[in-house]
Structure 1
C-alpha cells in the first residue's frame, strides 16, 4: 500500500510591494519540488491590486499543476479565473462561496480548533477544512490554538482533506504530517527560510514525506 501523502500549500506574504520580484521567487519555489496549491492572501489592498496579483501569479502556478486559491473573496475568485477560494469564519459563508465559484471551483474553510465545525463544513460540501493555528505566527494573529491530535482524529474519521496552518516550519512539518495533515499551509516558513524559498520547498517536501510515511492509525 502506498504511503499517505502530505503536500505543500503555499500562501503568499500579506503584502507584495514588488510583485515582479516575488513572481521570480515564486517560480523558483514551484520548480524546486511538489506544491499542491498557492493561496493569494493579500491584506489591506484594493480589488485592482488583487486582480493584478492573480494576473501575474496564476500563469506561473496553474501550468505547473498548482491550484490558485484566492483568500476571502469568492466574487473575485470566480471573476479572475482562480481555481477556488478560501474563507474564514468571519468571511463569506460556505454557501456564498460555493454559489460564487460553482461546483467546479474549490472551497476551503477555516475551522480553527474545532472538529465539530470541521464536520459541519465537510458535510456541507467543502473541498477541504483548515485547522490551526498550530504554532505562533506573525503572519496572522491567531485566536485559536489547535493540537496535532485533532489531525489524527480527523484522519481516522473523515475523508475530506485537512490542512494544517499557523506558524509551520521545516522543523515542525514532519510531526504534523505524521499526525495526519493532508496539506501544510505555509507562508513565512517558506518565504523567510534562511537558504531561500526553493531550498525551503525541498526541505518541506522531505520532512512531509518522512512524516506521512510514519503515520499510524
Structure 2
C-alpha cells in the first residue's frame, strides 16, 4: 500500500501576509504533499496577492501549490497546478491552459463514473467526498471508505479523500488505500496550532498504515 500523505486546503478567507506565517508553521509540523489555495468570492487581484504570498512558502519546502478553480490564474502566477470541480472549467480545457507538466486534480464526489472519466481523460488525481460532516462547505455527496478501496485496487491514478477528516476519524480512509487526505479545519483550527495539527495527522496516518500492514 502506498503511503498516505496530507493535502492541506486553505480556509476560504485569509489575510495573505499573516497566513504565510501560519502556513509555514503547518508545513514545518510534518509531512505535507500539497497545499491548495481555495478562496471564495474574491476578485482576481486578491487571488494573485494570496498566491504571491503563499506559493513560495510551499514550494521552498518542496510542497506542491495548487489553485482552486482557476487554471488561467494558476498558470499566470506560477502554481504547480489546479484543482477543478464538476461545475468549474472542464478538465480538457484546464489541461490545455496549465500545460502537460502541471497537476490537474478533479472533484468526483461519490461517483465512480466521474472518477473513471477523469482518470481516462488524464487527471493527475481524483478527489472523493464528503466522508464526514464538515462546516467548510454544503455537503451534497456522501462517500464511504469502500469507494476508496475499490478505486485503489482498480486504478493507478491517486485518490484524495476530503470532507470533515480529522486525526481521530481518518484511519478507515488510510486503511482503504487513500493516497491523500485533504484537510481544512482539523489543521488550521487545531488547539495547539497548525503545526501540531499536521503532526497529529502524521501520527494517525502512520498508526493506521501500521494496522493495515499488520492485518
* Contact in 2 for aligned 1:4/1:213 (Cα 8 Å): no
Correspondent of 1:48 among 37, 40, 45: 45
Q: Confirm or deny: 8 A CA contact 1:111 1:129 kept in the other structure.
A: yes
Give the aligned partner of residue 145 of structure 2.
148
Q: Deviations over 1:74-119 (max 9, x none)?
A: 1100111100000000000100110011100000000000112111
Superposed CA offset, 1:28-69 (max 9, x none): 111111000000000011000100010000111001110000
Q: Distance in 1 between matches of 2:205 and 2:2?
A: 10
Structure 2 unmatched ranges of 5 or more: none
Distance in 1, Cα, partners of 2:193 & 2:29: 11
**Of the candidates 107, 111, 114, which is equivalent to residue 114 of structure 1?**
111
Structure 1: gaps of 5 or more residues: none
Report deviation, 1:175. Answer: 2.0
In the other structure, the counterpart of 1:129 is 126
SS in 2 for 1:64: coil
**Alpha-carbon distance in 2 for matches of 1:180, 1:212:** 9
Q: Secondary structure of 2:205's partner?
A: helix
Give the TM-score of the pair, scaled to structure 2: 0.96
Q: How much does 1:208 deviate?
A: 1.1
> Displacement of 1:19 after TM fit?
2.1
- SS across alignment from 1:13: coil
Q: Is the 8 A contact 1:178 1:213 kept in 2?
A: no
Q: 1:214 to 1:116 in 2, by over 3 A?
A: farther
TM-score by length of 1: 0.96
1:15 equivalent to 2:10? Answer no
